[in-house]
Amino acid sequence: MRDEGLNYAARAARFERARDEEERRSARIARLRLATVLPGLGLIGWTVLGGGPSAAAAAGALLLLGFGALVVRHARIDQRVAWLDALRIVYTRADARVRRDWGALPPAVPPPGVDLAQHPYALDLDLFGRASLAQLLGPAATPAGAARLSAWLLEPAALTEIIARQQSVRALADAAEWREELRAHGVLTSGAGQAELDRLFGWAEGRRSFGPAFRGAVIALTLLIWVLLALKLSGLVNGNYWATPLTAGVVLSFALAKRIHESFNRAGAGERALARYAALFEHAAAAPRSADRLRTIADRLTAAGLSAHQSMHRLNQILGFAELRTGAAILHFPIQAVTLWDFHVAFALDRWRAQAGGRVRDWVEAVGELDALASLAAIAHDNPTWCTPVLGESALVQGIDLAHPLLAEGRRVGNDVSIGPPETVLLITGSNMSGKSTLLRAVGLNVVLAQAGGPACASAFTLPPIDLQASIRVQDSLELGLSYFMAALARLKAIVDAAEHPPDGRVVLYLLDEILQGTNSLERGIAVRGIVRHLLQARAIGALTTHDLAVASEPPLDAAARLVHFTETVDEEGRMSFDYRLRPGLATSRNALRLMELIGIRH
């Protein structure tokens, strides 16, 4: 499974070749269409206008029949081209995710309405943006999936929910082809963004456009037109009585044209992409069902005897009938006059939303949940050495061979990490660029993944339900008038408050990187010791990095700190290198001046 699943570049190239071949077939059929329609029209015109033989008209009719068949065939080939190109895009992105080629992946934008600057860890851990966790997991196939996945990353789930997601992720991890095809359907539906879906929801959940009395009147008017017309053509009546209901129908059509067409436009917002949602729902219904959550999602897509994909197919058919006004505009007026076509299409739409309209939002949300689970399953499949985290009650975070999930397999270095129990702190020291901040982010990102229901970048990873708090990337704010130092203080105050008032059933885990760098070493040391004292008294667990080795020997850290460090090596020619391996004890080396020399600055 690994060899087939991770050979994404080869599969992308294969689908690209297949797409190119289908495009060449499409071009050939386009030329054939032209070669049949023009002679066909010419032969019929010759017969009708120029007195040509009837055989010419028959030949022309056959050519036009062939043209019609070619139109159908051409549409199917173009659909095949779109599908193959969607698969090419999906496998190209999958290859980029494995290689951590961030420039080849779509950007991961944060969800609207979320202030990341006020979030306890989103900016610190690179949840969104370039080279982010959301970019590694995405792009999701649907707007609902992207929103659901973002919510999972930003807010930890309850223990029972995490276990349910883990079961689903394991089941979907083995369904590689199904997952990639889900993303291909997502590429094809990308034209239907959240705005288009919101318009569809508003229409589907709205009131009927016409009441039963009006529907009965239009049906009666239509029947009257055709009955009177049939009586006239059969010679049973002499007068053109059929013209009276026809005129009434035309007047009614003009009076209500704006209302009807607005209803059509709302129902068909992003129509081409929404038409693809029927295929997306059908594919979602074929998802594995070996986990309870997956069976629940499948039930939502077929609840109350309504199949999501069949209902969407029906909606697409009705909207196809509505296209008479634009697709064959020259025929629209006469057909509307004698059949009141648009009214009957509007009635069909009313019946559809009375039956299925109230379910559309839930169908989309169900597929969104499946989509988010599939995104987590994709990284589980692509990283078979990653583990399924174990959540327990002990206030201890432990990772074996734990590494940073955003680094490619050949670059990341795993370490055994243990944080906790309460009244202890993991104090990480080491020289510049040795890996301290990366280790904090590795811990934090794996906690986020674990509490979203995903895998962890470790051989084993255990943790309690966590309230994660981080101060790793502090930013000043010109808008708020905050200096770097004041912004850092505000963040630390929020972390201390969270530790002193933890959510029920959760252990506060803090990750602090070189805190309060914007002040002198004497005051910083006093402040660090005071903050750590508050966190220890609140029974939070956490890790702290520092360059100030003296703080380790002073209370409260002298009794509470478990010391680990990173170091570097310098070869005989003075070149510096790092192995990013965590070692016990306090760091003994410094390299700031050496780094200055390496970039050409003499001290």
pLDDT tens per residue across span 123-163: 999 999 999 999 999 899 999 999 999 999 999 999 999 99
Residue 401 is classified by DSSP as E
- Res 548: pLDDT: 80
194 or 504, which is more confident?
Answer: 504
* pLDDT > 60? residue 108: yes
Report the phi/psi class of residue 269: left, alpha or beta, with left for phi > 0 and alpha for psi in -120 to 50.
Answer: beta
* pLDDT exceeds 60 at position 482: no
pLDDT at 5 over 70: no
Distance, C-alpha 502 to centroid of its chain:
31
Distance of CA 304 to the CA centre of its chain: 28
State the chain's mean pLDDT as an integer. 86
Which H helix or E strand runs over 145? helix 143-154
Contact 178, 287 (CB under 8 A): yes
φ and ψ of 137, to 5 deg: -80, -25
190 vs 23, higher pLDDT: 23
Identity at 570, one-letter amino acid code: V
Out of 85-89, 135-139, 233-237, 379-383, least confident range: 233-237
Distance CA 407, CA 580 (A): 13
Mean pLDDT of 270-280: 71
How much is the pTM?
A: 0.87
Cα–Cα distance for residue pair 196/556, rounded to 1 Å: 57
CA distances from 278 to 269, 282, 283, 292, 373 (A): 15, 6, 9, 24, 20
Buried/exposed 61-99: b ≥16 CB within 10 Å, e otherwise = eebbebbeebeeebeebbebbbbbbbbbbbbbbbbbbbe
Element counts in the chain: helices (H) and strands (E): 22, 12
d(CA 112, CA 143): 12
Find where tokens 């970019």 sit.
135
141-150, 248-257, 462-471: range with lowest mean pLDDT: 248-257
Longest dimension (CA), the chain: 114
**Lowest pLDDT segment from 96-105, 149-158, 424-433:** 424-433
Structure tokens at 246: 């026809």
**From the CB of residue 146, how many other CB atoms can be counted at a distance below 10 Å?**
24
Instruction: Give the C-alpha separation, 524 to 542, whole Å.
Output: 19
DSSP letter at 117 equals G
pLDDT at 481: 45
Greater confidence (138 vs 209) lies with 138
Q: Which residues contact 21 (CB under 8 A, 6 or more apart)?
A: none
pLDDT level of residue 553 (50, 70, 90 thresholds): confident
φ and ψ at 541, to 5 degrees? -115, 155
The amino acid occupying position 514 is E
Q: Report whether pLDDT(593) > 70.
A: no
Confidence of residue 574 (pLDDT cuts 50, 70, 90): low
Give me the helices (H) in 286-307, please. Answer: 292-300
Within 357-415, where are the H helices?
A: 360-382
Angle subtended at Cα 372 by Cα 367 and Cα 375, rounded to the nearest 5 degrees: 125
